[in-house]
Amino acid sequence: MIAVVDYGIGNLRSAEKALQHLGAHARLVDQPDELATAVGVVLPGVGAFGRCAQALAASGLGEAARAAIARHVPFLGICVGLQLLYEGSEESPDARGLGVFEGVVRRLPAGVKRPQMQWNRLVAVGGRSSALLSGLGAEPWVYFVHSFAPPVGDETVAICDYGGAVAAAVEEGAVWGTQFHPEKSGVTGLAVLANFLRHCGVTVAAPSARSASGRQPRAPAQPDGAS
């Protein structure tokens, strides 16, 4: 079972459906003890860092997530779910993240439109091998919706250019994360989720040219800073 952590924040169904589209037994999980039996854990997140952090802690799912990571269960954070893997965020200075990675999430650089709400190119960090990026090709397009991002660090395997280098994907051992939304990123996003499922030991259906909803994903427009 792939557990999609349900802590009462945002639309979690799209991540669940994308994983199911690839043949995984994925379902929303809102009880901490259910994470103990999962072969993989996905932590989505939308909205403010502080609200997400507080909801995750109050539900008991934050401690369950830390325990899964300590057991080296494959773990994928998406968007704010990635940001929650860090120590905190300047968006919500009083809120604490899971502290898996060092550093504080920062606002996107000055001079760009915030949020970044557009397709952008994913650029692999040189010298790093990455199972998350396997088979994606050179600089694939993925879809972002965010105003904050984690720091670029040793765990960063891909960046995007948005007023400078912005951390777009991380990978360290069994812990993966994407600042972009794979469930909204067409075939490339499905390929990222398929890579994660393989990392979990799950047999994966081949990603099709259609999204999990059955609709053809729209072609990305050339970005001019932000759409």
Q: Given 79, 146, 160, 171, which residue is catalytic?
A: 79
Check if 146 is active-site: no
Note the pLDDT of residue 216. Answer: 39
105 lies in some domain: yes
Number of alpha carbons in the 13 Å side-chain half-sphere of residue 201: 7
155 located within any domain: yes
Q: What is the pLDDT of residues 80-136, one digit of tens each?
A: 999 999 999 999 999 999 999 999 999 999 999 999 999 999 999 987 889 999 999
Do 80 and 46 contact (CB within 8 A), yes or no? yes
Q: How many domains does the chain have?
A: 1
Is 96 a domain residue? Answer: yes
Domain assignment present for residue 215? The answer is: no
Assess if residue 32 is contained within a domain.
Answer: yes
Whole-prediction pTM value?
0.91
Q: How far apart are the first and last CA of the chain?
A: 37
Q: Dihedral through CA 25, CA 38, CA 28, CA 91, nearest 10?
A: -130
Residue 97 located in a structural domain: yes
What pLDDT, on a 0 to 100 scale, did the predictor assign at position 129? 86
The answer to whether residue 63 is catalytic is no
**Positive or negative: CA dihedral 122, 128, 133, 138:** positive
Residue 208's pLDDT band (cuts 50, 70, 90)? low
Domain membership of residue 61 as a residue range = 2-199
Check whether 210 has a pLDDT greater than 90: no
Residue 204 lies in a domain: no
Tell me, yes or no, if 181 is annotated catalytic.
yes
Structural domain includes residue 224: no
CATH number of the domain residue 97 falls in: 3.40.50.880
